Structure 1
Amino acid sequence: MVFRRLFRPQVSTLLRQYCDKKPPQEYFNRDGDRGTSKTLTSDTLPKDSKIFEAIGAAEELLSHIGLAREYAQEAEHEYSDKLKRIQTIIIDLSTAISRSNDQAKKIIPKNYTKELEDWILEYSKQLPPPEQYIIPGGGIPSASLHVARAVCRRTERVIVPLVNEGHLHNEALIYLNRLSDFLFIVSRMAAKLDKRTESIYIPKPDEKVQAQ
């Protein structure tokens, strides 16, 4: 009687369904064990090729912006939705890089860059003019955006050869250039929202500093 109560028909059916399930899909494969990988156009290339270097940089940028977005959400900063929008475009960019050997390569629309420019103008009106060199900091949200900007600059550098060789449309380079400007502006906005004072590097009178 106790046995019957414990193993009612519904329970035994669930157990049978569980046991009949196929093994879970593996989370790894061995395709890249020899130092090569495939693009979306099925080209097999070394993992240190210019294309995978660019894809990797774009993925790093995507992740750092994701981290900055999490900090922004915790601090209830309104620009977090803009960061999510940017992440979707970076995925498009990564896709375009992976298809760079395709004649019908994906083009980053110009309105994406225009969107960034509008946001830059919107925030710049709310901020004092930038000093010659702002030391990254100003709170966790601001500092994380400075890191994302540095990664954006590196991503920009590694796709230059792909653009120069005609593998990638120039609009991708323009977008990243404008994105680094936006990340700089929004890092300053984050410091302002957190009521943090920006740290300024003041060079000696006869010294020049590389512009940000």
Structure 2
Amino acid sequence: MKIYTKTGDTGLTSLIGGTRVKKSHLRIESYGTVDELNSYIGLVADQPVNAKRKRILKEIQDRLFTIGATLASDPEKSKMKIPDLLETDVTLLEKAMDDMDQELPPLKVFVLPGGHQSVSFCHVARCVCRRTERLVIALQEESFVPDLVIKYLNRLSDYLFVLSRIMASELNAEETPWQPRM
């Protein structure tokens, strides 16, 4: 099977359901950014500090494929069965955050991203997640997107922030508080 089809050479692509749209369409931008986020999650999962968290990070990647398939579908024409995103997927992130929070000192200030390359990768993933969420919210204003997709992305960005903190702790990396000029 060839990877290239040449059907996108004019700047159009097909959604699941057959609808042709410009590659610059907000729906394409949304699921393309989910794909970018998924790649960054893979990078975060590949950091040695996350060896014991690989299972949940792979689960997150699987959920992001589910979200991508949902966003790649024409909500009015697609008859294809898309995997479900469930409320328990959100709960899994919340439980993981609660578990990590028990090991961390309370946060009373903003912290600057960084301190270690692995932690920085996690912060980049968090920022891409926030951008994904903004795009999906904009898409929801013009077309159907399940509310649970936005809820999951919102919780995932929170998870990535807490993950960056636990990674910093485990790597003995400095967490630099933001000290605004006055």
Structure 1-normalised TM-score? 0.79
Quick check: 1:90 aligned with 2:64? Answer: yes
SS in 2 for 1:75: helix
SS in 2 for 1:37: strand
Give the C-alpha shift of residue 132 in structure 1. 2.2
Aligned mates of 1:141, 1:82 — CA distance in 2: 17
SS in 2 for 1:68: helix
Give the C-alpha shift of residue 196 in structure 1. 1.2
Q: Deviation per CA, 1:100-159: give whole Å up to 9, x if none.
A: 424778552111111111111111111011242211112122111100000000000000
SS in 2 for 1:126: coil
Asked if structure 2 preserves the Cα contact closer than 8 Å seen for 1:77 and 1:190, the reply is: no
Residue 10 of structure 1 corresponds to which residue in structure 2? none
Asked if structure 2 preserves the Cα contact closer than 8 Å seen for 1:116 and 1:182, the reply is: yes
Aligned mates of 1:111, 1:201 — CA distance in 2: 34
Residue 8 of structure 2 corresponds to which residue in structure 1? 32
Aligned mates of 1:91, 1:43 — CA distance in 2: 20
Structure 1 segment 90-129 matched on structure 2, within 5 A: 90-102=64-76, 107-129=84-106
Aligned length: 179
Residue 54 of structure 2 corresponds to which residue in structure 1? 80
Residue 63 of structure 1 corresponds to which residue in structure 2? 39
Asked if structure 1 preserves the Cα contact closer than 8 Å seen for 2:110 and 2:178, the reply is: yes
Residue 151 of structure 1 corresponds to which residue in structure 2? 128
Asked if structure 1 preserves the Cα contact closer than 8 Å seen for 2:12 and 2:21, the reply is: yes
Q: Deviation per CA, 1:141-196: give whole Å up to 9, x if none.
A: 21111000000000000001232345111110000000000000001111111111
Residue type at the aligned position of 1:145: C
Asked if structure 1 preserves the Cα contact closer than 8 Å seen for 2:49 and 2:167, the reply is: no
Unmatched 5+ residue regions in structure 2? none
Aligned mates of 2:146, 2:58 — CA distance in 1: 23
Higher relative contact order, structure no. (Cα contacts within 8 Å, ≥ 6 residues apart): 2
The percent identity for this pair of structures is 29
Unmatched 5+ residue regions in structure 1? 1-24, 206-212
Q: Deviation per CA, 1:5-54: give whole Å up to 9, x if none.
A: xxxxxxxxxxxxxxxxxxxx433221111000011111110001011010
Residue 21 of structure 1 corresponds to which residue in structure 2? none
Asked if structure 2 preserves the Cα contact closer than 8 Å seen for 1:163 and 1:173, the reply is: no
Query: In angstroms, what is the RMSD of aligned CA positions?
Result: 1.8
Residue 201 of structure 1 corresponds to which residue in structure 2? 178
Asked if structure 2 preserves the Cα contact closer than 8 Å seen for 1:41 and 1:98, the reply is: no
Residue type at the aligned position of 2:66: D
Q: 1:157 and 1:124, CA in 2 relative to 1: closer, same or farther beyond 3 A?
A: same
Asked if structure 2 preserves the Cα contact closer than 8 Å seen for 1:100 and 1:168, the reply is: no
Q: 1:62 and 1:113, CA in 2 relative to 1: closer, same or farther beyond 3 A?
A: same
Greater C-alpha radius of gyration: 1
Residue 210 of structure 1 corresponds to which residue in structure 2? none
